[in-house]
């Protein structure tokens, strides 16, 4: 048995021990299941009950976490790399969100993580379909787990997950009004979210230039590649815009010596840094944005001990096996903005929070500021008049970890020293923000 084999058996042993129940913080209750949300479309969810003592889950909120991509798995990446009770080595995570909330991971859209489709025509092609599927899942969930119907329910998201979270939140608001879903929806939080893709792409050049990652030639190249994306968008050529978005990323890679799109202070690993000739944009997207969410060690964990523990994953379903297909079916929808949906949420009185990592490139903060300033929300001028408030990093008193601003039902958190995956980069600050948004701090 090699080192890796030994580690895997050890991990498996640990899972068995956890199942038998170890002292806190590993004693939390869990549940998981599949829902067939459409014919041939199976969605996987995994719930951790909040394990904070003495509050117990009944006194703490329920948070659904949505990963990006599309094709990134919450049950895998979000759970073991960001906010779940255990990290990828199955050791307890100090900044686990399960100490402040029950956490529901849903592998969404179908084809993501352990979710799967039986047929090619069962993949989703736009966020409307994604939201419809999720509503079916939530209806099942709140019926099966009726104990959560009155508990404040929040949706937290990252990246493309935010675009889906916005669409899902709007449909959920309608479904609650119509009485078709029983839940106590309390708000949505959009983390480094793909709400206005063009605003992100158009600000890559200026952001990289001011952080010494482009020279004048590079700035001109990135800006002209971004301009081509803008033209495709204006001509409503959305699939072309997605292809040109990918081309712009290649121009960024070439001019920055392979900056990491998820954290500008790091570089992409060598094997992912530069495109090889003839790679099409789907392959590029898989390499740049699906690959990092499906590292070999995470895949081994999910397709090894975790799959054994869960016991319900069909034999021919591989965690992450359909991830690249998920993106390719969504490619036409990918660049379309959902700013109008955020406006509808604000108008409907839903609490909306935007939070963004200072070092994120793919969804840089400059781009977020641009679409926020274009909101039609009637509170916008009041929001704009406020100054932000600094927040200490919870682990370093006196050192600023974030700034935030909140007005009526909208809030913005600027998270310092964090890239795209905020809970991985700044776990204590992310946990503090979770508590503030869910009114526990
Ligand atoms: C798994 O096998 C079943 C039965 O043969 C088939 O209907 C289904 O499409 C397969 N699913 C996947 C994800 O390959
Ligand atoms: C989303 O996709 C479905 C299924 O293809 C289609 O019926 C619907 O019109 C699409 N909606 C939008 C807003 O593009
Ligand atoms: C929305 O946030 C405000 C404070 O920011 C809070 O008073 C209110 O209860 C929240 N609404 C819901 C539905 O949780």
Rg of the chain (C-alpha set): 21
Annotated active-site residue 294? The verdict is no
For residue 54, what pLDDT is reported?
73
Active-site option among 289, 328, 420, 424: 420
Q: What is the largest CA-CA distance in the chain?
A: 64
- The 10s digit of each residue's pLDDT in 154-182 is 999 999 999 999 999 999 999 999 999 99
Annotated active-site residue 392? The verdict is no
Q: Average of pLDDT values for 261-285?
A: 79
- The 10s digit of each residue's pLDDT in 50-69 is 987 777 899 999 999 999 99
Determine the Cα–Cα distance for residues 170 and 261; give it in Å rounded to an integer: 29
- The 10s digit of each residue's pLDDT in 342-357 is 999 999 999 999 999 9
Ligand 2 is surrounded, with C-beta below 6 A, by 125-126, 128-129
pLDDT band at 282 (very low <50, low <70, confident <90, very high): confident
Burial of 98 (0-12, 13-18, 19+ CB in 10 A): buried
Residue to probe by mutation, ligand 2, list 129, 170, 171, 330, most atoms within 8 Å of CB = 129
Active-site option among 360, 364, 424, 425: 360
pLDDT band at 25 (very low <50, low <70, confident <90, very high): very low
- The 10s digit of each residue's pLDDT in 292-344 is 899 999 999 999 999 999 999 999 999 999 999 999 999 999 999 999 999 99
- The 10s digit of each residue's pLDDT in 99-121 is 999 999 999 999 999 999 999 89
pLDDT band at 380 (very low <50, low <70, confident <90, very high): very high
* Residue 101 in tokens: 């909330």
Report CA torsion sign: 124, 128, 134, 140: negative
**pTM (2 d.p.):** 0.92
Determine the Cα–Cα distance for residues 395 and 80; give it in Å rounded to an integer: 22
Whole-number Å distance, alpha carbon 127 to ligand 2 midpoint, is: 8
Q: Which residue segments constitute the domains of the chain, with CATH numbers given? A: 3-196+335-437 (3.40.50.1820), 198-293 (no CATH)
pLDDT band at 427 (very low <50, low <70, confident <90, very high): very high
**What does each C-alpha distance from 2 to 6, 8, 14 come to in angstroms?**
6, 10, 18
- The 10s digit of each residue's pLDDT in 249-269 is 999 999 999 999 999 999 987
Which residue's alpha carbon is nearest to atom 12 within ligand 3? 186
User: What phi and psi values does residue 188 have, to the nearest 5 degrees?
Assistant: -130, 140
Other beta carbons within 10 Å of 12: 17
Active-site option among 159, 196, 246, 328: 159
Other beta carbons within 10 Å of 437: 24
**What does each C-alpha distance from 373 to 43, 288, 359, 384, 388 come to in angstroms?**
36, 30, 21, 8, 15
Q: Average of pLDDT values for 18-28?
A: 45
Paired residues of 268 in beta bridges: none
* pLDDT of 5 strictly over 50: no
* Residue 148 in tokens: 């959560």
pLDDT band at 438 (very low <50, low <70, confident <90, very high): very high
The distance from CA 341 to its chain's CA centroid, rounded to whole angstroms, is 18
Which residue's alpha carbon is nearest to atom 1 within ligand 2? 126
**What does each C-alpha distance from 341 to 115, 316, 329, 355, 408 come to in angstroms?**
26, 37, 22, 17, 18
Which residue's alpha carbon is nearest to atom 14 within ligand 2? 126
Residue to probe by mutation, ligand 3, list 173, 409, 435, 436, most atoms within 8 Å of CB = 409
**Residues 156/189, Cβ–Cβ less than 8 Å:** yes
Q: Which atom of ligand 1 is nearest to the CA of 317?
A: 13
pLDDT band at 277 (very low <50, low <70, confident <90, very high): low
Question: With the CA atoms of 336, 293, 131 and 32 taken in that order, what torsion angle do they form, in degrees rounded to the nearest 10?
Answer: 180
Paired residues of 158 in beta bridges: 191
Determine the Cα–Cα distance for residues 367 and 356; give it in Å rounded to an integer: 10
**Residues 140/32, Cβ–Cβ less than 8 Å:** no
Whole-number Å distance, alpha carbon 407 to ligand 3 midpoint, is: 11
Whole-number Å distance, alpha carbon 388 to ligand 3 midpoint, is: 19
Q: Which ligand is nearest to the CA of 332?
A: 2
For residue 276, what pLDDT is reported?
64
Give me the chain's average pLDDT, please.
Answer: 92
* pLDDT of 95 strictly over 70: yes
Q: Is the CB of 116 under 6 A from ligand 1?
A: yes
* pLDDT of 200 strictly over 80: yes
């Amino acid at each position: 048995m090699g080192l890796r084999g030994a580690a895997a058996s050890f991990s498996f042993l640990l899972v068995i021990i956890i199942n038998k129940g170890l002292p806190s913080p590993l004693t939390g209750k869990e549940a998981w299941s599949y829902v067939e949300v459409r014919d041939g479309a199976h969605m996987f969810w995994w719930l951790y009950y909040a394990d904070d003592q003495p509050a117990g889950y009944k006194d703490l909120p329920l948070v659904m976490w949505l990963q990006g991509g599309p094709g990134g798995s919450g049950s895998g990446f979000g759970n073991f790399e960001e906010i779940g009770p255990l990290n990828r080595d199955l050791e307890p995570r100090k900044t686990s969100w399960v100490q402040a909330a029950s956490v529901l991971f849903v592998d969404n859209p179908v084809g993501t993580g352990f979710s799967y489709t039986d047929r090619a025509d069962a993949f989703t092609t736009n966020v409307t379909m994604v939201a419809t599927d999720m509503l079916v899942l939530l209806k099942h969930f709140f019926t099966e787990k009726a104990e959560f119907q009155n508990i404040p329910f929040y949706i937290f998201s990252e990246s493309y997950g935010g675009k889906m979270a916005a669409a899902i939140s709007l449909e959920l608001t309608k479904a609650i009004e119509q009485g078709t879903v029983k839940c106590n929806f309390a708000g949505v939080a959009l983390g480094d979210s793909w709400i206005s893709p063009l605003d992100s792409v158009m600000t890559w050049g200026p952001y990289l230039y001011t952080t010494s990652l482009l020279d004048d030639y590079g700035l001109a190249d990135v800006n002209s590649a971004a301009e081509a994306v803008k033209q495709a968008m204006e001509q409503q050529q959305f699939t072309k815009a997605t292809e040109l978005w990918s081309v712009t990323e290649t121009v960024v890679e070439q001019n920055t010596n392979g900056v990491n799109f998820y954290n500008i202070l790091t570089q992409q690993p060598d094997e992912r840094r530069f495109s090889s000739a003839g790679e099409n944009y789907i392959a590029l997207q898989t390499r740049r944005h699906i690959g990092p969410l499906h590292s070999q060690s995470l895949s081994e964990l999910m397709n090894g001990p975790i799959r054994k523990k869960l016991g319900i994953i069909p034999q021919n379903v591989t965690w992450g096996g359909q991830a690249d297909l998920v993106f390719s079916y969504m490619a036409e929808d990918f660049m379309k903005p959902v700013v109008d949906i955020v406006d509808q949420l604000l108008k409907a009185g839903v609490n909306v929070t935007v939070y963004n990592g200072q070092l994120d490139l793919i969804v840089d903060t400059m781009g977020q500021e641009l679409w926020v300033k274009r909101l039609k929300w009637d509170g916008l001028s009041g929001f704009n008049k406020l100054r932000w408030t600094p927040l200490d990093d919870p682990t370093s008193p006196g050192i600023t970890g974030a700034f935030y601003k909140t007005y009526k039902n909208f809030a913005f958190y600027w998270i310092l020293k964090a890239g795209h995956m905020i809970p991985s980069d700044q776990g204590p600050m992310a946990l503090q923000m979770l508590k503030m948004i869910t009114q526990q701090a």
